[in-house]
């Protein structure tokens, strides 16, 4: 009986042996290489809505189609996309809104001060 238990099998009252419930479950210690949109958003630390918004950006990687309505995202591709993501450079001292309004005013008046 020890050899059967070690193989993940246990005695069944109705028959010779059956797989144990533990062997039927997936191991939770293995991280999937392909992620759903929800998992990819969690991996990147954002909401799923923001993740879908970023899908349209030119630097974002393409999903891997597995069927007509099933796509997955590669962790490696997501890491590469993040590495190539453009960085915003903040100018010290002047808020973005103020700078934007100055640019718009300069366009309208032609005064570039």
Reading the chain (113 residues) residue by residue, the pLDDT tens digits are: 454 444 444 555 555 555 555 555 555 678 888 999 999 999 999 999 999 999 989 999 999 999 999 999 999 999 999 998 888 766 667 777 887 888 888 888 876 65
pLDDT value at residue 25: 57
- CA distance linking residue 110 with residue 16, whole number of Å: 89
pLDDT value at residue 28: 65
């Amino acid at each position: 009986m020890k050899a059967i238990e070690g193989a993940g099998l246990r005695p069944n009252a109705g028959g010779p042996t059956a797989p144990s419930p533990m062997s039927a479950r997936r191991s939770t210690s293995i991280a999937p290489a392909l992620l759903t949109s929800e998992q990819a958003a969690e991996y990147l630390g954002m909401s799923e809505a923001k993740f879908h918004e970023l899908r349209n950006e030119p630097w974002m990687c393409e999903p891997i189609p597995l069927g007509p309505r099933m796509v997955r995202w590669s962790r490696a591709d997501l890491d590469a996309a993040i590495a190539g993501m453009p960085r915003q450079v903040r100018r010290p001292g002047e808020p973005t809104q103020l700078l934007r309004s100055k640019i718009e005013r300069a366009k309208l008046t032609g005064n570039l001060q």
